[in-house]
Chain A
Amino acid sequence: MPQTQSIFPLSVSANRRYLVDYAGQPYLIHGDTAWSIITALTKDEAELYLTNRAAKGVNAIIVNLIEHKFNGPFTRAGEHPFTDLQDLSTPNDKYFDYADWVLRRAGELGMVVFLAPMYLGYRHPADNDGWYHEAHLGGMNKCWKYGQYLGKRYAGFSNIIWMMGGDRNPDGVVDEVNSLMVGIKDFDKHSFFAAHAHPEETTAEKYGWGGWLDLNSTYTYMIVHKRLLADYNRRPVMPFVLMESSYEGEHNASPVQIRRQAYWSVLCGACGQFLGNNPIWLFNPGWEKAIESTGSRDMVHLKAFFTSRPWYDLAPDQRHEIITGGLGEFNGMDYLAAAATADQKTLMAYLPSAHAITVDLGKLSGARLRGWWFNPRNGEAQPTGEFQPGIQQMMPPAEGDWGLVIDDKELNLPAPGK
């Protein structure tokens, strides 16, 4: 069981590429998506979900503090967040007492919560997914008061990252979002701020005004690796997380799709990623069964893969200087992502489909090199053998997607995933 005291609060690494925990250890965001947990679940159910995720190594969850359309706004005990649901400045303590329990329990289980205090909701004709209208109607003063209430209430929590927005850019409510942020910061001086924009929009561009954004995020349903690399190459450097891409159980997502976007994220320089699953994200019927989904099990292997090497030190091989052949379509889904540590002693790569690749081992450090193929479906690694520096053709051992690790043999590192 993680020792919360030694983990939180998190901070940003000196090179602004990743988060570190309170003890200074790199913190790979290994997230799961639980938007509606506060309103949709009983305590027992929330406990079931959280302990399942903790056992799978999840250390971050996305939570909607005040759910609106999706199994909200009432808790299962019938408490609503505001005594007047049109007025954000009328918080109902009983609602937030329950929310506190969820947030605290997540912290005890070693999870940082990306907490949406005013989920704006996706733009569509009915426009009732989130609190956009209530924010707009209430205006700046009410948003500021609500922010102050939250700041006071949560200043003592160490496992919160405030996540402004929510499937939406702030257009139309920029001042209200700003007022909420100011209100929170009046009391909570330490928690980070992130944001959740409209899909395909860059958080740093849509929420980068005002200088309060600490963490950028990528949110795309398109060619995921391209968006990730664009955020990696953005200046000034800001750590970024793959906040959302396709959810398991939606849009005919395939298991390899869920894996590839997650592997791409870290190999394209993100400081972590979130798995999403329908029905889990809103805890619709069937969610208890879905908590053992293929995606959630595959993510366990992903974490084992990356944490077996200095993942935080990886720089993307975006010019394809190390792996030079078998790269797949640059605008496609079979794109091979590779990254090497700064000392060039470890190469990590992910191939969405099995095909021959060409590796220029001379670009890595080490008189002898040793490699492993890593099966992201079962977490098993098998050695590729040893190599001299030079151009090497390699072929994954079987069909499907594969991870690849090549180390300087002198490091004598164990098989990846161990």
Chain B
Amino acid sequence: MPDNQIARFPLKIGSDRRHLVDQNDRPFLVHGDTAWSIITALTKNETEQYLTNRGAKGFNALIVNLIEHKFNGPLTRQGDAPFTDLQNLSTTNEKYWAHADWVLQKAAEYGFMVFLAPLYLGARTPKNDEGWFVEALTTGLRGCWEYGRFLGRRYANQDNLIWMMGGDRNPGDCQEHTFAVVRGIKEFDSRHLFTAHPAPEFPTVDVYGWGNWLDFNNTYTYGIVHGKLLADYNREPATPFVLIESIYEGEHNSTPVQIRRQAYWAILCGAAGQFLGNNPIWAFWPDWQAAMDAEGSRSMAHLKQLFGSRPWHSLVPDQFSAKPWFELDFASEKRVVVEGLGEQRGLDFLAAAYTADRRTLIAYLPTARTVTVDLSRLSGETKRAWWFDPRTGQAQSAGEFPGQGLLKLASPADGDWALVIDDAEANLPAPGQSLT
């Protein structure tokens, strides 16, 4: 949790345009949890209960819906509505916003950066009532602009937020309305980054990249997650991107390894971080308290420990060159991990990344296997290898290896594993143990 306390918000884009940094230019690994409905669904006591649990697990970012609609919204537990006229976004109701302020401030006290959705549009459904899409249209451009100005004035000095436009939807007919809110905010708030949350499978920059206000990209996919992540990494110009959403724990028959693999893939495919989602937590449906110690949240703590123990911000994905598969010349490919890669369009895909100085390689194997690593593509006379168990956070030595040849390593048992290979001279502690 030291990261949380040291990070000085607001965040900025790192100079290499690959990750986010704090005001001291310290890389900030977005390690998020999903609390969409926290403002409306929870009492103050419950809010603190949630924040305490998440803070203790090392989470440092939250997704929050500033004005919830269908999912335990739009009224707070005290019965306050965000607008005196719920059809008109420019009729803000002070009592609601006082509670929202309190939540954001509490999140700041616990060290959380909040990805804040000011105008959650909602997934396209026949009823079209999940978000504020219809109300934005009804309110009109001027009202949306006034709402934006209200937000900009109110939150310009709230350090711990990133504005997240959209919400499970591309702007479509609300593009001008979205832009009006952005412009209203920016009249008073030039301190915070802007990002967006599109419809699933759409790259955020493709659907929210107009108007020159989007500061970083997001990946949102239920498909072949690593494929979408690498596509966003390889996009030009380079833009930081976060795995903003994939499968939530407790939905779609997701498995524990599914939750882990998408998170590990994110960092190893070059993302600036990722968010865990959990049902019932995201909407704080009944039994959310019991879900707070679910396996996903516990294994995310291990993930953070692993990447926190190595210079994660310098990782470069180990990938094939960008050509059609049938045109690849495998003899001239310069990958570090050369065998045991899994299906490139499957979900047993091995993701690997090496630090820019090539002194550390980290790989994640969704299933146990033997991998072959070309040590000549890593630096150091002697390499020290570790297996890291993403289920327990325990590391075990995989040995020291001289030479430059091809090294075959078999994971120690069934299940998913992370492999770490360091230049032995760097004398790094076991993965998962904090750097001093």
B127 within 8 A of A: no
Tally of chain B residues near chain A (CB < 8 A):
20
- Are A251 and B255 within 8 A (Cβ)? no
- Are B344 and A251 within 8 A (Cβ)? yes
B78 within 8 A of A: no
Could you say which of B253, B325, B346 contacts A250, with CB atoms under 8 Å apart?
Answer: B325
Contacts of A332 in B (CB 8 A): 253-255, 258, 347
Residue of B nearest to A223 (CB): B223
Could you say which of A257, A278, A279, A329 contacts B258, with CB atoms under 8 Å apart?
Answer: A329
Contacts of B345 in A (CB 8 A): 221, 246, 251, 253, 257
- Are B222 and A252 within 8 A (Cβ)? no
A-contact bits for B313-338, CB 8 A (1 contact / 0 none):
00000000000011000000000000
Within 8 A of B (CB), among A193-246: 221-223, 226, 246
Given A278-B326, A282-B326, A223 contacting B224 (CB threshold 8 A):
yes
Minimum distance in angstroms from A247 CB to a CB of chain B: 8
- Are A251 and B224 within 8 A (Cβ)? no
B343 within 8 A of A: yes
Minimum distance in angstroms from B253 CB to a CB of chain A: 4
How many inter-chain contacts with C-beta < 8 Å in the A-B complex?
63
- Are A222 and B224 within 8 A (Cβ)? yes
Could you say which of A223, A254, A278, A330 contacts B325, with CB atoms under 8 Å apart?
Answer: A278
- Are A253 and B343 within 8 A (Cβ)? yes
Interface residue SS majority, chain B: loop
Within 8 A of B (CB), among A301-343: 327-333
B55 within 8 A of A: no
The docked-state distance in angstroms from the alpha carbon of A33 to that of B343 is 21
Contacts of B247 in A (CB 8 A): 329, 331
The docked-state distance in angstroms from the alpha carbon of A327 to that of B255 is 11
A284 within 8 A of B: yes
Within 8 A of A (CB), among B320-378: 325-326, 341-348
Given A222-B224, A223-B222, A284-B326, A331 contacting B343 (CB threshold 8 A):
no
Could you say which of B222, B326, B344, B347 contacts A333, with CB atoms under 8 Å apart?
Answer: B347
- Are A331 and B252 within 8 A (Cβ)? yes
Contacts of A226 in B (CB 8 A): 222
Minimum distance in angstroms from A355 CB to a CB of chain B: 11
The docked-state distance in angstroms from the alpha carbon of A282 to that of B325 is 13
Contacts of B223 in A (CB 8 A): 222-223
- Are B344 and A252 within 8 A (Cβ)? yes
The docked-state distance in angstroms from the alpha carbon of A66 to that of B384 is 55
A-contact bits for B41-76, CB 8 A (1 contact / 0 none):
000000000000000000000000000000000000
Residue of A nearest to B342 (CB): A252
The docked-state distance in angstroms from the alpha carbon of A333 to that of B345 is 10
Given A328-B253, A331-B247, A250 contacting B341 (CB threshold 8 A):
no
Residue of B nearest to A281 (CB): B326
Residue of B nearest to A251 (CB): B344
Contacts of B224 in A (CB 8 A): 221-223
- Are B253 and A330 within 8 A (Cβ)? yes
B-contact bits for A64-84, CB 8 A (1 contact / 0 none):
000000000000000000000
Given A221-B224, A282-B326, A254 contacting B346 (CB threshold 8 A):
yes
Which A residues are closer than 8 A to B by beta carbons? 221-223, 226, 246, 250-254, 257, 278-279, 282, 284, 327-333
A to B CB contacts below 8 Å, 15 in the list: A221-B345, A222-B224, A250-B326, A251-B343, A251-B345, A252-B341, A252-B342, A253-B346, A254-B346, A329-B247, A330-B252, A330-B253, A330-B254, A331-B247, A332-B253
Which B residues are closer than 8 A to A by beta carbons? 222-224, 227, 247, 252-255, 258, 325-326, 341-348
Q: A253-B343, A278-B326, A329-B253 are in contact. List 19 more A-B contacts (CB 8 A).
A: A221-B345, A223-B222, A223-B223, A250-B326, A253-B344, A253-B345, A253-B346, A254-B346, A257-B346, A279-B326, A330-B252, A330-B253, A330-B254, A332-B254, A332-B347, A333-B343, A333-B346, A333-B347, A333-B348
